[in-house]
Amino acid sequence: MKTMKKFGFTAMAALAIALSSCSSDSDGGSGSNAATYINASVDGTAFETFEVQGQSSASASRIVSGSDTFITITGVSSTTDAMEIVLHNITATGTYPAGPSNDLTLVYSATSSQMAYASDADCTGATGTVTVTSISDTKIEGTFSFTGKTDDCTGQKAVTNGKFRGTFAN
């Protein structure tokens, strides 16, 4: 299962590059003009969604199936590290907890170590929050922070000052 999770995350990062957004709009000073982005600090080091000629390496999707809503925002940095926000049945503004028993997952994947650090790892201290400040059928914005742990609970990353915007591709 751990291998499948890592494979799925790598596939999502590759998909983020393939489905990158081509438009931009003003963000009111959040640090990016891209339509979709994820920016944060990982253990004190800046993580910023990579842009090439105005195109973001981030993607966002919103899928509604019956009474379920799935929102995924994925961003890739210039060092090919990746960050992903996965929300299940989050349809209103508010602050939501992330952890092993919640419908919300935050993941940071470090390319150099080939390790994923997730808020939903079944480890003590794997936790976080997402604050959705704006949500519609076409876009979501907010802030986040989390402590991500590796599957074996031996590695940890603190992700702080996170900001995101997802303009849905579908």
CA–CA distances in Å: residue 147 to residues 54, 69, 119, 158: 31, 25, 6, 5
Residue 141 pLDDT more than 80? yes
3-class state of residue 14 by DSSP: helix
Q: pTM above the 0.85 mark?
A: no
- What is the percent of the chain where pLDDT is above 70? 80
> Look-up: residue for tokens 């090919």?
80
Residue 56 pLDDT more than 90? no
Residue 108, strand partner residues = 83, 117
Do the beta carbons of residue 72 and residue 60 sit within 8 Å?
A: yes
How many alpha carbons lie under 13 Å from residue 42 in its C-beta half-sphere? 22
Q: Report the pLDDT value the prediction gives residue 51, as an integer from 0 to 100.
A: 85
Task: Name which of 164, 167, 161 is nearest 142 in CA terms.
Answer: 164
Query: Beta 51-52 vs 104-110: how paired, if at all?
Result: unpaired
* pLDDT digit string, tens, across residues 82-124: 999 999 999 999 999 998 888 899 999 999 899 999 999 999 9
Residue 107, strand partner residues = 84, 118
CA–CA separation, 86 vs 93, rounded Å?
A: 15
Q: Report the pLDDT value the prediction gives residue 25, as an integer from 0 to 100.
A: 42
Determine the average pLDDT of the residues in 44-64.
Answer: 91
User: Cα dihedral sign for 23, 50, 167, 94?
Assistant: negative
